[in-house]
């Protein structure tokens, strides 16, 4: 029963974070600050009350409509809340579910939650606007670099410190360099500069060989989705498709299942 309460609290915390991320995404679109001001209906601009802001449940109880103007609420809002809650829950289970609540594990868990929030904002914003905003990716990179240096220096031996830190930077530079090369070869037609920045962020976090799993997954999923869109005539061969959502999806796949995928790959050759 105690474990259920803890897991439920983590899930609820994730849905609340998802609600905040919806606010961040909307205000980034409108170039407004998400640090001040009350939440309001995007359609009628009426300030929202407590009963309008309960993650997922408010959407269900209000039948997907604003209490004040009766306009439809985008399904993006409960979906992001649900996905964020699930990702928080999976991360908690992975990091703290069967491990001690040490200072290192708690700090790592908190960092991962921040990492997840950045990726969700990038996923949705790039999907909607075909751009990865600098206001999101630059803070993400800076926080990632600072945390990697901090936690490795504080919790690792000097040998592990240098090797792990070198792995992070090498993975980030190589991943970013790979996308930069694609941009140079295609003269910017195949990839955007935002993908270079995002891949650097991914490399700092995932390191090698997990970054390879993330990139492979991104290209595989992107290729499949692209073919499906072309078959159903939703896109043409020369149409632009945002790659950020595939990179973020590949990152999540690598983080949660990377070791298993790598083990499976090598088992094919044994």
**Per residue in 167-195, pLDDT tens?**
889 999 999 999 999 999 988 788 889 99
Which residues make Cβ contacts (< 8 Å) with residue 126, sequence separation at least 6? 132, 194, 242, 243, 244, 245
d(CA 113, CA 117): 6
Which pLDDT does position 149 carry in this prediction? 81
Which positions of the chain have pLDDT values less than 50? none
Which pLDDT does position 114 carry in this prediction? 95
| Angstrom distances, CA of residue 179 to CA of 165, 173, 193 | 22, 10, 8
Q: Are 182 and 211 in contact (CB under 8 A)?
A: no
- How many CA atoms lie within 13 Å of 98's alpha carbon, on the beta-carbon side? 2
- Quick one: tokens of 178? 């790979």
What are φ and ψ of residue 63, in 5° steps? 55, 35
d(CA 22, CA 77): 6
pTM: 0.92
> For residue 18, with 0-12 CB atoms within 10 Å meaning exposed, 13-18 middle and 19 or more buried, which class applies?
buried
């Amino acid at each position: 029963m105690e474990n259920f309460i803890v897991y439920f609290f983590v899930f609820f915390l994730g849905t609340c974070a998802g609600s905040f991320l919806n606010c961040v995404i909307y205000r980034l679109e409108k170039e407004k600050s998400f640090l001040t001001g009350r939440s309001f209906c995007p359609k009628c601009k009426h300030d929202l009350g407590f009963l309008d802001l309960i993650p997922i449940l408010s959407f269900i109880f209000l039948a997907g409509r604003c209490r004040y103007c009766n306009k439809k609420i985008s399904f993006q809002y409960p979906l992001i809340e649900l996905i964020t809650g699930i990702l928080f829950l999976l991360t908690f289970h992975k990091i703290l579910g069967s491990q001690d609540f040490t200072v290192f594990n708690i700090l790592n868990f908190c960092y991962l939650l921040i990492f997840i929030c950045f990726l969700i904002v990038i996923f949705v914003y790039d999907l909607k606007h075909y751009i990865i905003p600098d206001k999101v990716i630059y803070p993400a990179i800076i926080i990632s670099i600072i945390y990697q240096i901090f936690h490795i220096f504080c919790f690792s031996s000097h040998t592990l410190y240098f090797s792990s830190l070198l792995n992070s930077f090498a993975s980030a530079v190589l991943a970013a360099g790979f996308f930069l090369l694609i941009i140079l070869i295609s003269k910017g037609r195949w990839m955007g500069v935002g993908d270079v920045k995002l891949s650097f962020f991914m490399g700092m976090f995932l390191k090698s060989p997990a970054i390879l799993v993330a990139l492979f997954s991104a290209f595989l999923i992107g290729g499949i989705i692209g073919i499906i869109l072309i078959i159903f005539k939703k896109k043409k061969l020369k149409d632009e498709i945002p790659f950020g959502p595939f990179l973020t999806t590949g990152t999540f796949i690598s983080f949660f299942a990377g070791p298993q995928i790598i083990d499976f790959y090598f088992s094919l050759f044994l």
